[in-house]
Chain A
Amino acid sequence: MRPQDMAFPTYREHGVLYCRGIDPIMPLGLFRGVDQGGWDPIEMKFAMYTIVIGAQTLHATGYAMGIAMDGKVGTEDGEAVIAYFGDGASSQGDVNEAFVWSSVFHAPVVFFCQNNQYAISEPLERQTRVPLYQRAHGFGFPGVRVDGNDVLASYAVTRAALDQARVGQGPTLIEAYTYRMGAHTTSDDPTRYRIASEVEAWQAKDPILRVRRFLEQQGLADQSFFGEVDEQARVEAVKLRERVLELPDPAPVTMFDHVFPNGSPEIDEEREQFTAYLSSFAGEVH
């Protein structure tokens, strides 16, 4: 991605968020339950996390239509958009509508489908009878499957697709074929729906291990480099955990803020009433 490009993430795109320069405490505030996110998507060129599966693909398409309307396609400072989603999202109407719209408006958008083969417990066979990348053909733009556990291949394919969008070649669907190693959430139990040997086979394809072996074999990095990276990751993770635990709970009345850009007299009235109610407990321990 170039600085002027825009990303529309799922709620798991923490890596992209980090690369866009957003403090990783911000999405963690969302999951900690102290706010709703709060970064400026326009300034950071990174849209808000979208919890409703696939809804962001339409937002990405609209933004890309705006790029074309602004004449920022095929120019020196051309812009492109990338929309992330998963294999489960590929069944959503919004994703299929985004394919239609981006195609007919020739919008500069790259659809990056991270196919990790499971939508919580449901395997890919419950979402599709054809390889996902092949769907693009029916909508009128190219689809490509890449080994999602190959860092360099994924980079090359993504870069090529964004470049094509930027110069006016329209949308591309990338299917990054990978595997979800862990559980969907802490309440999930993958042992109920998949076998250990499948997980083990994918462990051997760990993309981080693979890129590390590649760098070692090519003599591009040595043990001290990896040691530094590991240490840096450890320190940052410790710091981030501490910061998450220190996040203060918001004051209850802040729930009335930021409902409308122009505010609302009804909400002001509720805020006042609730503030008066809270203050009626002044001095009490509760």
Chain B
Amino acid sequence: METVTIGKALNLGLRRALEDDPKVILMGEDIGRLGGVFRITDGLQKDFGDDRVIDTPLAESGIVGTAVGLCLRGYRPVLEIQFDGFVYPAYDQIVSQVAKMHYRSRGLPIVIRIPFGGGIGAVEHHSESPEAYFSHTAGLKVVVCANPNDAYWMIQQAIASDDPIIFFEPKRRYWEKGPVDTDAEPYPLHAARVARPGTDATVVAYGPMVRTALDAATAAAEEGRELEVIDLRSISPLDMAPVYESVRKTGRLVVVHEAPSNVGVGAEIAARVTEQCFYSLEAPVLRVCGFNVPYPAARVEEDFLPDLDRVLDAVDRSFGW
């Protein structure tokens, strides 16, 4: 057991994947000598060579499109999209080719890593949460890590999977530390997990908002309310069983994500919970999300992003119903 940051855990996971399978290659902009703009691939090109850790031209569609061909050649490409807002030039290759290839003939074992979300004081296109676009597309699996142990294991599980996987990384949490158990049997990749047990209300979150939800639960406990926090981990497919079980126990559900609420993951969860837990609900499912505006200027992003107070406000509204 060692204590490392999420960023370092990803680095260690990628390193182990490169060691375990000679067909694994990394591709992306600035991932070689620089080690990526967030240094997630730090030192990997030096140790594995520029044939396996490839600095690519500055062309996202090319990164994904050439990876399709490399898969047909037997490789397992792991792609880094430098920032969430830069994935759109590759959107066609991801949605029209990567997602559909197994339906046509044979699947592509591609992992597309995307540092996502806000809170880093960046200029526009560097703080977006595009997970709903990909979750809406059949043929793609979408996962999000929220802590160092999951970062270490989930990236390896995603690379070992034959499914095409969009792998979201909570970029503003890259520097948060936590324990990584490199020997333990990993939790299943597409399973949700109770991050903090509770009895009074359920808070569902993923990625950077898991920390926010846990902080809210700590604050609520001081006021005598026990929140159960569930880390979804997988957005597509959704693992709803732990959510249903929790809601049947608590009767109240708040879903938290940074992406705007309209037609988002929270709406899907609300619909499913309404279908499956209708008679258990004491209040409507509430969402705490980014607002339905373009990602705002950095000086007001903390007002845009869900925080501890807005989560607790939603919990209060649930109890006040």
Residues of chain A touching chain B, judged by Cβ–Cβ distance below 8 Å, are: 6, 8, 36-42, 47-48, 50, 52, 55, 57-67, 69-70, 93-94, 97-98, 100-101, 104, 258-262, 264-267
Q: B238, A58: Cβ atoms under 8 Å? A: no
Give chain B residues whose Cβ lies under 8 Å from the Cβ of A104.
57
Q: A65, B69: Cβ atoms under 8 Å? A: yes
Give chain B residues whose Cβ lies under 8 Å from the Cβ of A41.
72, 105-106
Give chain B residues whose Cβ lies under 8 Å from the Cβ of A97.
57, 59, 61-62, 65
Residue of A nearest to B74 (CB): A66
Give chain A residues whose Cβ lies under 8 Å from the Cβ of B257.
none
Contact of A59 among B65, B100, B139, B237 (CB under 8 A): B65
Task: List CB contacts (< 8 Å) of B51-91 with chain A.
Answer: 51, 56-57, 59, 61-62, 64-75, 89
Give chain A residues whose Cβ lies under 8 Å from the Cβ of B237.
264-267
Q: Could you tell me the distance between the alpha carbons of A64 and B70 in the complex, rounded to whole angstroms?
A: 8
Q: Could you tell me the distance between the alpha carbons of A42 and B104 in the complex, rounded to whole angstroms?
A: 13
Residues of chain B touching chain A, judged by Cβ–Cβ distance below 8 Å, are: 25, 51, 56-57, 59, 61-62, 64-75, 89, 92-93, 96-97, 100-107, 109, 138-139, 141, 161-163, 236-238
Top 8 closest pairs, chain A to chain B, by CB: A58-B65, A62-B69, A66-B73, A62-B66, A63-B69, A261-B107, A261-B162, A97-B62
Q: A64, B69: Cβ atoms under 8 Å? A: yes
Residue of B nearest to A44 (CB): B105
Give chain A residues whose Cβ lies under 8 Å from the Cβ of B65.
55, 57-59, 61-62, 94, 97-98
15 A-B pairs with C-beta separation under 8 A: A39-B105, A62-B65, A63-B73, A66-B69, A69-B51, A94-B61, A94-B62, A97-B61, A100-B59, A101-B59, A101-B66, A259-B102, A259-B138, A260-B102, A266-B237
Extra contacts besides A37-B104, A261-B107, A264-B141 (16): CB < 8 Å: A37-B105, A40-B105, A41-B105, A48-B105, A58-B61, A61-B65, A63-B70, A63-B73, A66-B69, A67-B73, A70-B73, A98-B65, A101-B59, A101-B66, A260-B107, A264-B237
Q: B104, A48: Cβ atoms under 8 Å? A: yes
Q: Could you tell me the distance between the alpha carbons of A59 and B64 in the complex, rounded to whole angstroms?
A: 9
Q: Could you tell me the distance between the alpha carbons of A261 and B92 in the complex, rounded to whole angstroms?
A: 21
Q: B103, A36: Cβ atoms under 8 Å? A: yes
Residue of A nearest to B161 (CB): A262
Give chain A residues whose Cβ lies under 8 Å from the Cβ of B109.
261
Most buried by A among B57, B68, B100: B68
Q: A59, B105: Cβ atoms under 8 Å? A: no
Q: Could you tell me the distance between the alpha carbons of A42 and B61 in the complex, rounded to whole angstroms?
A: 23
Give chain A residues whose Cβ lies under 8 Å from the Cβ of B238.
266
